[in-house]
Structure 1
Amino acid sequence: MSEDRLYLIDAFALIFRAYYGNLRMKNGAALTMARMLLALVAQHKPTHIAAVFDRPEPTFRHEIYPEYKANRAEMPEDLRPQVPLIRDLIRALNIPIVELAGFEADDVMGTLARQACAAGLPSVIVSPDKDLLQLVSDEGRIQVLNNRDGEVWIDRAGVKERFGVWPEQVVDVLSLMGDASDNVKGVEGIGEKGARDLVEQFGNLDAIVAHRAELKRKAHREGLEAALPRLELVRRLVTVVTDLELPVTLEDLAYKGVDQAQARAAFKALGFEQLTKEFTEVGSAAAPSAARAYRAAATRADLVEAVARCREAGLFGLDTETTSIDPTRGHIVGLSLAWKPNEGLYVPLAHLRPGSEDTAGSLPGLLPDSGLPEGLLDLRGEPGAFFRELAPYLDPRNIPFDEAREVLGPLFLDAAVGKAGQNLKYDLQVLKRHGMPVRGLAEDSMVLSFLVDSRLRHNLDDLSSRHLDLRPIPFEAVVGKGKAAKRFDEAEFEKAVQYAAEDADLALQLCGKLQPLLPPDLRRLYAQVDLPLVEALADLELEGVRLDVDVLEHLAKAMRVTRDGAADRAFELAGEAFNLNSPAQLGRILYEKLNLPVLKRTDKTKAPATDEDVLTELAQREDGEIARVLLRHRQMQKLLSTYVEALPAMVSPVTGRLHTRLHQAAVATGRLASSDPNLQNIPVRTEDGRAIRGAFVPREGWVFLDADYSQIELRVVAALAGDPVLLGAFGRGEDIHRRTASEVLGVDMEAVTGEQRSAAKAVNFGLLYGQGAYALSASLGISFKEAKAFIERYFERMPKVAEWIEATKARAVEEGLVRTLWGRVRRIPDLQSPNQGLKAQALREAVNTVVQGTAADLMRRAMVRLHRSLEAGGFQSRLLLQVHDELLVEAPPAEAEAVAALLKDAMEGADDLGPLGVKLAAEVRRGNSWLECK
């Protein structure tokens, strides 16, 4: 319901608030301003509205007082170009802009508010500016809305409460106290409190002047006497003008609401992805829902025709619908094919009968995402048996599974017919598990999008909005939300058909849109690395890894004893029991009871900090035993909750194995990210963390083969910089850190001590992340002077490294992006930021991205090479895990030697698409657990 009110927006007040609230993003002020305005109109639905701007020309106040606002800081350089964009956005939102040369926005808002008052229209001034409180009127129904921190509505009583005087007295207070932000000097010796007290005592400024001899404080009397000649000028400067002749009427400010298409065009032009998507309609003008030819296959003939059309097209979109987002659980409900834009065929396979029909009782079984016994769910024997068991409960509109597999299976297996999709890894896994393996992977829109611009989101909704001006049918529109949500096999049949067919169609269209956006130098990386990696990851995840839960249970018992012992010792040291997880209670014990020094405070509450960094520093002190004990407690609790107790519950009841997910379109540098569970973060630097790897074991009678790259990122630096010292050391197979220490310190390799090698290692790796002398001194426990001298000597002995780092930074700033050896691009907007802190961080990211990204590309290529070699050789061995620079393979003993050679060759020959310029080295180890391999 609309509010019968005029909303007057103090544009620059909100613009500055938006700017400082979103400094990191290019055009961040414009984005935040748009969101603020959208929230305002959505919540209040005003009948009238205006955004009121200050004009750039001098105002009448400058004419009568040239020093007016003379001390006002210049607008930030990166905000200035955003102002025209914000004005365009405001117009795109259908909000009228009002301004008047010679006057300030306050005067325009004051005039409009009084005009509205005279017309019987209540008005709201949206601003945090205290000067505008003088306009508040209960009779005129004028209020101020300060939305800086939530929403604070200020009426007449609110002005008195917040400012200490009534609205009609605000000008008097401002005249006495002045306004430093506008360079308006008030009365010497009278501040805000004094001004409020005087106005409250005498009623108004004129009465104060008339009784100035009676003022109690000498400073007030003398200051007021001295200010008399300019007091009237000050009063005029701080008084809002309310009787201007404006170029608009109230009728001109009637609000028609946001025009969806107009707003969307503005958001898209500015690259505001999320807002663009929010303002994108389901369907599109080019292809509205009614124009789409989405249908369900009803007969075998429909499938036969679809296969012919796919073969004729040579490329088709493919998508699957299932009962679970986990490809190792649940079952396929249907699949979709699309061979031309705006057409799609959905093949229903396992939709249940409508709930209104008698299904002879509920579905049997144990798993909510399957409805059938776990033994059938595996599907590794005869997948058709699953669907035959399910048959009594199926909707008659389904195509029999065996028939669909018979017709479609050869098409999926035909590598000559290309398959396109969105996140095809999932579909490959689902189809393989159901006895329909796929060959001929040709396009993946998610992978393409990540290569085109890794910063953006790569899901189907965002991609469709960005490239097709279309918003897909929401999943919730098909299955519902929250507790009432259904599985896909329970959804209304026709809704499911439209949703599923659209997925395949949009994926096909997106691949066609994205391919031309891929620069030529990235097409080889896509074809030889990222696209075939989809198949390698699909098989890796589907295979899973065996977990010995007995090992974890043994670890859990030991860790609980250690954790509880640490807690008891902490209580003993504190002299009382307390909540170890409560920062407030812990802070009281550390700083009030034990009198340990406060090293830092929290940002929000300014309470003494108790985080891990603080405890680590306190633990170095002689009286810091409690900090050491607390760290031990936290370490044990984290290992227990994240891994030791959590991993057994994540073992699939279907396969009996642990299935992590590896995401190839998640990390901007190109590294793979692991989740559900994240196996890349298992600690390996502590004995307790390493022990967790002991629970990862091969299948009965098999062995693990584990290989990791030797100092791959340093090899990348050596090659890209062309540094003869590092290249020579790697070429001779020397200990690179010992060689570095020898060169920097001028001692023989054999004479390098352990501490010297550690220092060299810290510098070798620190330079990849832009580490300076302060960070090095902290990590090594040496003085800043010593750390600075070490770094300087490092670059003196290896000047090529320094030259490469500076050249990389310069090129990054010039282009706004960086590239890996094989051309993978990462755009870093903060490289052009005027904020020097943000720019410095961006420069560190730039150097790190080139190094880490090149190493990540090599690892991706190694995985593809190994996957292909294992398939081509017909080996039973399988790649199970990838963790940073490491690969883990499971092999039967008879294959171990041959597969170890393949693994080593795959990794050491991974620069076959473009030589790195330094020999890659990988060591293969064998063991009966992951831990044994280290």
Structure 2
Amino acid sequence: MATIQKPPFILVDGSSYLFRAFHGLPPLTNSKGQDTGAIYGVINMLRSLIKQYNPSNIAVVFDAKGKTFRDDIYKEYKANRPPMPEELGSQIKPLHEIIRAMGLPIIVEEGVEADDVIGTLARIATEKGIDTVISTGDKDMAQLVNKHITLINTMTNQVMDVDGVKEKFGIPPELVIDFLALKGDKVDNIPGVPGVGDKSAQALLNGIGGIDEIYNNLDKIADLSFRGSKSMAAKMQEHEEQARLSYELATIKCDVDMEFCPETLVPTEQDNGKLEILFTEYEFKRWLNEVSSQAAAEESEEATTTAPAQKIDNSEYETIFDKDSLSSWLNALKEAPLFAFDTETTSLNYMEAELVGISVCAEPGKAAYIPVAHDYPGAPEQLDRDWVLEQFKPLLEDPEVKKVGQHIKYDKNVLANYGINLQGIAFDTMLESYVLNSTASRHDMDTLALAHLDHKTIHFEDIAGKGAKQLTFNQIDLDQAAPYAAEDADITLRLHQVLWEKLNKEDKLKSILLDVEVPLASVLSRMEQLGVYIDSQRLGQHSQDLAKRIDELEKTVHEEAGEPFNLGSTKQLQQVLFEKLELPVIKKTPKGAPSTSEEVLQELALEYPIPKMIMEYRGLTKLKNTYTDKLPKMICHRTGRVHTSYHQAVTATGRLSSTEPNLQNIPIRNEEGRRVRQAFVPRDGYKIVAADYSQIELRIMAHLSQDKGLLDAFSQGKDIHRATAAEVFDQKLDDVTAEQRRSAKAINFGLIYGMSAFGLSKQLNIPRNEAQEYMDLYFERYPGVLKYMDDTRALAKEKGYVETVFGRRLYLPDIKASNGARRKGAERAAINAPMQGTAADIIKMAMIKVDEWIQSNSNDDIYMMMQVHDELVFEIKEDQVDAASEKIVSLMENAATLSVPLDVEAGQGKNWDEAH
């Protein structure tokens, strides 16, 4: 057997590893039911390989999604292969995350297979005299073997050099392609030559030579001593085209154009903190133990110097049962420069949550829990809740006493239910993490504690259980509840110290946190507590109308299809559309079935009636289930209003999102969606006012690009789409047609989202070359925009992030990805994020200014009620509407200063739809 002396360059066939691990190992899942067997198998093989060779240069190569050049050559290539099982597909993304965290370079190149990337890199290495080991289970790779290239099968630990290939295949490596071409390959659906098997292929190749030699010497085949040699020449002649096609399909491409070379593919230091999070998530306990002891040390030097060095324990946590102890703690909190505060409640719904206890921490390691409503059998006597809140109220409402919390907006809402206005919110660790890096990880306490403090917190499920039998906090024994609650406060204070040290060195990020996100939390809390009136009778009638229309659509579709079927069943819809009606298959799912996605149905709807009706059916069903049926059930019995939750730390760009209900997704472009908005109404004697930023992202584009044409158009108050059309189509402003304006609008907004000529052509339903001409003309007229886009892409690659006008960062981990689709996606995000993020910053700053004005008036005439995209919605007393609208418009337009004016349009009405 061949041996290897520490090769400097190792190429791992990740796709081969993946499939072998999936099919060769028993199924494995974690406690959440996530499939993890393939991840475990691949990582196990990689760890074994690295331990054996300790490579100085390495790359792990995976197949990209989608077709390759071989599919263009032969449509039946790999057609025999079943679609990737969902339980395998779900493991690819986490597997890649773990490999990257291990510090190993990953390569995924579109349009070719992993074999081709490996072949190219191995060829380059060979030309440079670098010995290479390819770790794979793929027999096709044997064609690459030479004196510099060796294969290793990690599962069997078998090494194959030139002699090993001869032993296995009975031919030298340089004839392996010919061998595969002659006998074919059922797995890859390479046809080969009918009647040629292993022995006859070996006899042909060893007796005559490669395929070219064989076809030049067909008369010599009969003289070879293998069974069927006499009739083989005729078969070879009959199937020559098939043999040569098979040769082309079996040949590993060794000239892939890519940016990698062996010398630059070096392993980096593994990210033990990230690995700890991932190994915890997927429950690889043995590996978790290995990295957990190193995780804190592997954080950046900055983090390790600020994170507590001692092990976190709960030996000095207190549970407060008597008034004297509480009084002592209140004095300590009042004197502290900053203290952490947290509530324990019965529900995540802030309008329904009842206070069960309070936890506080004024110094790392010293925390207290004050239980007030644990009511399980045998629970010890606790301090009276009302009395405790009365003692806490002056401290909590004092704006000079500084507090920090983790998602403290929730605690502010809970306290508001008890008549306490929490003030003095100085920091929020969730928001600190989000401002530092919105995309790095989740921003919950458990994740942050593990990442920044190397500490695994007590999880709620650990003390409350899971599923339907999960206890509410008041039912949990204090022996378990108190350490959990006190730890929350302790960890919050410790996290703040670590995160603030980082933020305090970045002036712009510090400003985003202190001037925008933290004050906004209180603004959002007031909006959440206010809620919005819903006309449930109007929605009830809407639901009945929708049900009738949905029923009509279902019957019409059944008539068109010629049979009844479940419109909500993807499988039945596929059968009707693509098997029975034989509509063209535009796109396939990962499992190989015809897709019935919205995008596909939109395209089919241009020519066929059923897809159009299915789209309408889906839209109306979603509207009914999500809004008209659900909203009335969400009305709070105490207030008679619906109370959404706004989320500050979810989107990558800084935009707010909302849930229960999601206000951002109520349709506005169709009548049925607008009817939902008509059910959002004010209290008696008030009106709804909606104030909306006009074309804010295009204005931000003008500011960022400093393009003279755009700046002039906005400064002069021109219709930007008409102005763009005049430039692109070389028309006078007054001569621009409605169609030209529509095209210009598509270009304007398309560029913001990085739309390609292909995307524009689909949107405008014009040829691709025509769409490209439009874009070329646009960039000719607005060269500053093109320069901004080019400069932003370059800067993103250099820094790894982009910034808004005000300094908010969006990190782009895929900006240097070898996978073209991921890289281009990151480039599109690099262009769009500064605009979308700046728009988010501006409306947040506007909300703070408007809220300050409303609070300073201290009356019940004006309420800020909702925020949706670039729009603020108010409830204003009828006799105040005009004056208040004028003030709101002024505050919003002056929330920030750009190179072009901000424009706000305000409307009013007896419901949200009228006001918009």
TM-score band by shorter chain is 0.7 to 0.9
The AA in structure 2 aligned to 1:551 is: R
The AA in structure 2 aligned to 1:298 is: F
Which residue, out of 892, 904, 909, partners 1:927?
909
Alignment pair present for 1:485 and 2:485: no
**CA contact 1:176–1:190 (8 Å) conserved in 2:** no
Q: 1:131 to 1:785 in 2, by over 3 A?
A: closer
**CA contact 1:480–1:486 (8 Å) conserved in 2:** yes
How far apart in 2 are the matches of 1:538 and 1:83? 38
Matched with 1:348 is: 371
Matched with 1:503 is: 488
Q: Report the more deviating stretch, 870-879 or 343-352.
A: 870-879
Matched with 1:286 is: 310
How far apart in 2 are the matches of 1:471 and 1:188? 56
Matched with 1:517 is: 502
**CA contact 1:176–1:191 (8 Å) conserved in 2:** no
Matched with 1:559 is: 546
1:5-154 equivalent positions in 2, closer than 5 A:
39=40, 53=52, 85=103, 128=137
Say which SS state the counterpart of residue 914 (structure 2) adopts: coil
How far apart in 2 are the matches of 1:214 and 1:335? 87
**CA contact 2:707–2:782 (8 Å) conserved in 1:** yes
**CA contact 2:171–2:202 (8 Å) conserved in 1:** no
1:876-891 equivalent positions in 2, closer than 5 A:
876=860, 877-891=862-876
Matched with 2:80 is: none
Say which SS state the counterpart of residue 581 (structure 1) adopts: coil
The AA in structure 2 aligned to 1:879 is: M
The AA in structure 2 aligned to 1:312 is: E
Say which SS state the counterpart of residue 913 (structure 2) adopts: coil
Which residue, out of 213, 222, 225, partners 2:225?
213
Matched with 2:604 is: 618
Which residue, out of 350, 354, 362, partners 1:339?
362
Any stretches of 5+ residues in structure 1 without a counterpart?
1-10, 23-33, 59-77, 88-101, 107-125, 133-143, 148-152, 155-169, 206-210, 224-256, 273-282, 358-394
How far apart in 2 are the matches of 1:349 and 1:328? 19
How much does 1:414 deviate?
A: 0.7
Deviation per CA, 1:742-772, whole angstroms, max 9, x where unpaired? 2222222222221111111111111101112
Which residue, out of 327, 334, 355, partners 1:311?
334
Alignment pair present for 1:628 and 2:612: yes
1:564-713 equivalent positions in 2, closer than 5 A:
564-605=551-592, 607-621=593-607, 624-713=608-697
**CA contact 2:405–2:428 (8 Å) conserved in 1:** yes
**CA contact 1:348–1:399 (8 Å) conserved in 2:** yes
How much does 1:488 deviate?
A: 0.3
How much does 1:906 deviate?
A: 2.6
**CA contact 1:329–1:654 (8 Å) conserved in 2:** no
Alignment pair present for 1:828 and 2:851: no
**CA contact 2:343–2:411 (8 Å) conserved in 1:** yes
The percent identity for this pair of structures is 35
1:798-837 equivalent positions in 2, closer than 5 A:
798-837=782-821
The AA in structure 2 aligned to 1:667 is: T
**CA contact 1:862–1:906 (8 Å) conserved in 2:** yes
**CA contact 1:177–1:190 (8 Å) conserved in 2:** no
How far apart in 2 are the matches of 1:407 and 1:756? 68
The AA in structure 1 aligned to 2:489 is: A
How far apart in 1 are the matches of 2:877 and 2:180? 91
Say which SS state the counterpart of residue 729 (structure 1) adopts: helix
Deviation per CA, 1:825-849, whole angstroms, max 9, x where unpaired? 1110211223333222211100100
Which residue, out of 448, 451, 454, partners 1:469?
454
Say which SS state the counterpart of residue 586 (structure 2) adopts: coil
Matched with 2:703 is: 719
Q: 1:83 to 1:662 in 2, by over 3 A?
A: closer
How far apart in 1 are the matches of 2:863 and 2:181? 83
How far apart in 1 are the matches of 2:421 and 2:703? 41
**CA contact 2:793–2:831 (8 Å) conserved in 1:** yes
How far apart in 2 are the matches of 1:128 and 1:816? 36
TM-score (norm 1): 0.72
**CA contact 1:127–1:145 (8 Å) conserved in 2:** yes
**CA contact 2:353–2:414 (8 Å) conserved in 1:** no
Deviation per CA, 1:37-92, whole angstroms, max 9, x where unpaired? 98459999xxx98877569899xxxxxxxxxxxxxxxxxxx99x9799469xxxxx
How much does 1:783 deviate?
A: 2.4
**CA contact 1:816–1:827 (8 Å) conserved in 2:** yes
Deviation per CA, 1:478-531, whole angstroms, max 9, x where unpaired? 212223321100100121111111111111111111112111222222111111
Say which SS state the counterpart of residue 496 (structure 1) adopts: helix
Say which SS state the counterpart of residue 454 (structure 1) adopts: coil
**CA contact 1:670–1:856 (8 Å) conserved in 2:** yes
**CA contact 2:893–2:904 (8 Å) conserved in 1:** yes
Q: 1:571 to 1:396 in 2, by over 3 A?
A: same
Matched with 1:545 is: 532
Deviation per CA, 1:405-454, whole angstroms, max 9, x where unpaired? 22110000111110101000001111111122111110100101111111
Deviation per CA, 1:230-269, whole angstroms, max 9, x where unpaired? xxxxxxxxxxxxxxxxxxxxxxxxxxx9475542255667
Deviation per CA, 1:787-817, whole angstroms, max 9, x where unpaired? 2222222222222222222222221111111
Which residue, out of 300, 308, 323, partners 2:346?
323
How much does 1:307 deviate?
A: 1.7
Q: 1:172 to 1:520 in 2, by over 3 A?
A: closer
Q: Report the more deviating stretch, 626-635 or 438-447.
A: 626-635
How much does 1:464 deviate?
A: 0.8
**CA contact 1:176–1:187 (8 Å) conserved in 2:** no
Larger radius of gyration between Structure 1 and Structure 2: 1
Say which SS state the counterpart of residue 730 (structure 1) adopts: helix
Deviation per CA, 1:266-298, whole angstroms, max 9, x where unpaired? 5667779xxxxxxxxxx99823425x3111112
The AA in structure 2 aligned to 1:485 is: Q
**CA contact 2:601–2:611 (8 Å) conserved in 1:** yes
Aligned-residue Cα RMSD (Å) equals: 4.1
Matched with 2:291 is: 263
**CA contact 1:536–1:864 (8 Å) conserved in 2:** yes
How far apart in 2 are the matches of 1:561 and 1:477? 48
Deviation per CA, 1:145-195, whole angstroms, max 9, x where unpaired? 999xxxxx99xxxxxxxxxxxxxxx99994247768x95875995567978
How much does 1:316 deviate?
A: 0.6
Deviation per CA, 1:171-230, whole angstroms, max 9, x where unpaired? 9994247768x958759955679786759999xx9xxxxx9735123487999xxxxxxx
How far apart in 2 are the matches of 1:331 and 1:145? 60
How far apart in 2 are the matches of 1:35 and 1:188? 36
Q: 1:267 to 1:450 in 2, by over 3 A?
A: same
Q: 1:332 to 1:218 in 2, by over 3 A?
A: farther
How far apart in 1 are the matches of 2:784 and 2:362? 53
How much does 1:872 deviate?
A: 1.3
Say which SS state the counterpart of residue 842 (structure 2) adopts: helix
**CA contact 1:342–1:505 (8 Å) conserved in 2:** yes
How much does 1:567 deviate?
A: 1.4
**CA contact 1:215–1:221 (8 Å) conserved in 2:** no
How far apart in 2 are the matches of 1:55 and 1:41? 17
The AA in structure 2 aligned to 1:917 is: S
Q: 1:131 to 1:522 in 2, by over 3 A?
A: closer
Say which SS state the counterpart of residue 457 (structure 1) adopts: coil
The AA in structure 1 aligned to 2:474 is: D
Say which SS state the counterpart of residue 743 (structure 2) adopts: helix
Q: 1:461 to 1:696 in 2, by over 3 A?
A: same
Any stretches of 5+ residues in structure 2 without a counterpart?
1-9, 22-34, 58-95, 106-129, 142-151, 158-163, 187-194, 207-222, 236-284, 301-306
Matched with 1:159 is: none
TM-score (norm 2): 0.73
Matched with 1:840 is: 824
How much does 1:874 deviate?
A: 0.4
